[in-house]
Amino acid sequence: MSAIETEILSLSEIETLAYDALLAVGTTAQNARPLAIATAATEAEGIASHGLAYIPVYCEHVTCGKVDGAAVPLLTRPRPGVIVADAATGFAHSAIAAGFAELMPLARSQGIAALAVRNSYNCGVLGYHTRQLAAEGLLGLGFTNAPASIAPVGGTGKVVGTNPFSIAAPDGKGGIALLIDQSASVIAKSEIMKHNREGKPIPEGWGLGPDGQPTTDAAVALQGSMAPSGGYKGVGVALLVEVMAAAMTGASLGVDASPFSGTAGGPPKTGQFFIAIDPEVTSSGDFAARIQALVGEMHAQDGVRTPGDARSAARKRAEAEGVAVNAATLAKIRALL
């Protein structure tokens, strides 16, 4: 098997390439910039399936109208501690960025605050957003729903999406002590999509065919359903996220949302929900010491990594050495310019 051709790009080059491609298909600068920044950060953390590989999809969706590249998020404050952002079928990243600008100071002043995002779109890597809250000294909780792709245990009909949740904890020194970002499925759907694009089989246990039986064929899995992580427990996590990100925000349920891939169905109108908490308010001022002690217990064991360690290490390497990007992906993006 021949090696996959790659090209080394700096993080700034990745951001610029993503930004220029989004502008080229009619996305406004205000919407393109947050998404381009997130794309570079995602590539830096080694999550290629959500990085530049997604830019052609984003651009296709702007062109076909699945997402409004010129949308302007509308923010309201229905209660003192709650912000609602209507993404107006635009990109989630710009709606979340606008919401976070109000959420962070609100959480500091009140101790806790929430942001509900509706009529939204794929928000990419959820942990990218909760990390921003933790970097500002806040405990960040995030939930995002997705088009239905998981069937309940014992059934074959898809009811809920891969529906990730994330929690990011600050270390008290301007960094991140812990970052959990996981979906309700064994693997993110984008990974199966990536295998399908590359003509590769998927590992056993990732997906089920339309008949509910396990399959290693990526195309068959995309026609069927994602395997929930931990069986019924994964379905429970997906339902929790569905309540938080769809029911609590007024966004579309996963069964009603159009796919994040392809051009059919119009805007998905999914949702996100974030909770930001000032940990010093509830912990009598010793949160940082407690979280460092917790993380320290794990790091004291040889070979143990805490959630978020791998991403942090990848980011440091990328900042110093750049990122190896698939040449075929780059060719698709450059063809848009």
Active-site residues: which are they?
Answer: 49-50, 191
Dihedral-angle region of residue 199 (phi above 0 means left; psi in -120 to 50 means alpha; beta otherwise): left
Contact 118, 84 (CB under 8 A): yes
**Helix and strand counts by DSSP (H, E) for the chain:** 12, 12
Give CA–CA dist 155/1, Å, rounded.
38
DSSP 3-state assignment of 259?
Answer: coil
Give CA–CA dist 172/40, Å, rounded.
26
Contact 192, 53 (CB under 8 A): no
Q: Closest Cα to residue 326, out of 55, 18, 48, 60?
A: 48
Tell me how far CA of residue 46 lies from CA of 25, 43, 67, 92, in angstroms: 26, 5, 26, 21
Instruction: Please list the residues that pair with 168 across neighbouring strands.
Output: 140, 179
Q: Dihedral of the CA atoms 74, 80, 81, 85 (nearest 10)?
A: -10
Q: CA angle, 69 as apex, 64 and 74 as ends, to 5°?
A: 130
Tokens 């074959």 locate to 156
Alpha helices in 183-308 (DSSP H): 189-197, 218-223, 232-242, 279-282, 287-299
